Amino acid sequence: MSTATESTAAGLRGVVAAQSKIGDVNGEEGILIYQGYDIHDLAENSTFEEVVFLLWNARLPKKDELEDFKGRFQSNYGIPPEIVGMLKTFPKDAEPMDVLRTAVSALDFYDREGHGTDRENAMNAAVKLTAQLPTLVAAWDRIRNGKDIIAPDKSLNIAENFLYMLRGEKPEADEARMFDICLILHADHELNASTFTTRVVAGTLADIYGAVTAGIAALAGPLHGGANTAVMKTLLEIGSLENVEPWLDKTLEEKRKVMGIGHAVYKTEDPRATWLRKFSRTLGEKKGETKWFEMSQKLEKLMHEKKGMFPNVDFYSASVYYLMGIPLDLYTPIFAISRISGWTGHILEQYGNNKLIRPRAEYIGERDLKYTPIDER
């Protein structure tokens, strides 16, 4: 294999593995679109539920369609009591992503039509999963902390309801809107590792619960999800604005990675970071705790000066979620709460025009070896 081919094939970077109408990333220009709509236009004007409809149906909903769509989610917020009972048996120190993966797999048992790969049954399962993931995450956080579970409020949208179930009080309107936009920003990102995983599993005509469970498992890996948690741990480690540059110099000298800076696709600013930077500043000013934004901004500036690198979606989302009072280990589950919309959109697309995804691997091992009896080895 040539060096050029080897470089291209490693991690399938640059290899086109599917055709899709759902989302596209232009890394050179820093453009992200969902079904033809620019992410900035959607973040400015739409809601998460509206974006989910768009991802699944390739068009924006009419007013009555959106109300009906929201109602379907709201009527499916609840999780079976058997699942709640199961959660209560888990070790209290279990990783939230592991809990989410196991709970989603178990939800399959309580959806009689969940194995259907036809459009109607798969769509119904997608609605249930999108509605129930926030409930699972919030329920687990309260269970592990010895608190009573907060029942979902069917009058709230997905973003509002999650913050309510997590905290036990309804969020202020501006914070709920910021969180809603956060869900929009994370909803889809073309053929990332977890989305590709869901399409591979769906391509076997496995049911949607199995495909989403696999997606969660992929997202749990530290090279995919978890970067914003690592960013916040970094900021807490640095501790103050004056420590940023000495910390960065030492980190670069030791050739360690600065989490949240740089991206596999974007060669300029990640368009999602534009919004999250603004939210970090706004929330910091509102709560009188601007140091996390100031530290992030300085780190961003220095990394651009020293390495020519830009922040990605994880960099400022870390301080946004921290200022919202969200536990650090829930950052990746929140990613899943949003990305379930993109996963299921891709699964529905895969079911609609399915072909088993079965690539080849170039064999680079030995050949023509002869078996040696065990006593002669």
What pLDDT, on a 0 to 100 scale, did the predictor assign at position 9? Answer: 56
Q: Which contacts (CB < 8 Å, 24+ apart) does range 191-198 have?
A: 191/17, 191/18, 191/20, 192/224, 193/218, 193/219, 193/221, 193/223, 193/224, 194/218, 194/219, 194/224, 194/225, 194/339, 194/343, 195/339, 195/342, 195/343, 195/346, 196/17, 196/18, 198/343, 198/346, 198/347
Give the whole-angstrom CA distance, residue 323 versus residue 305.
Answer: 27
In degrees and rounded to multiples of 5, residue 354 shows phi and psi of -85, 140
User: Residues 303, 258: contact at Cβ < 8 Å?
Assistant: yes
Q: What is the pLDDT of residues 26-68, one digit of tens each?
A: 989 999 999 999 999 999 999 999 999 999 999 999 999 999 9
Catalytic residue among 111, 270, 314, 346: 314
User: Residues 311, 260: contact at Cβ < 8 Å?
Assistant: yes
What pLDDT, on a 0 to 100 scale, did the predictor assign at position 3? Answer: 40
The token duo for 151 is 């029942």
Q: What is the pLDDT of residues 66-75, one digit of tens each?
A: 999 999 999 9
Give the whole-angstrom CA distance, residue 124 versus residue 131.
Answer: 11
What pLDDT, on a 0 to 100 scale, did the predictor assign at position 5? Answer: 44
The CATH number of domain 227-323 is 1.10.230.10: yes
38 annotated active-site: no
pTM for the structure as a whole: 0.94
263 annotated active-site: yes
The CATH number of domain 75-221+330-352 is 1.10.150.530: no
Give, in order, the Cα–Cα distances in Å from 221 to each of 21, 73, 97, 297, 308. Answer: 27, 28, 10, 27, 27
Catalytic residue among 141, 263, 270, 346: 263
Regions in the chain scoring below 50 on pLDDT:
1-8
Query: Which residue ranges make up each domain of the chain?
Result: 75-221+330-352, 227-323
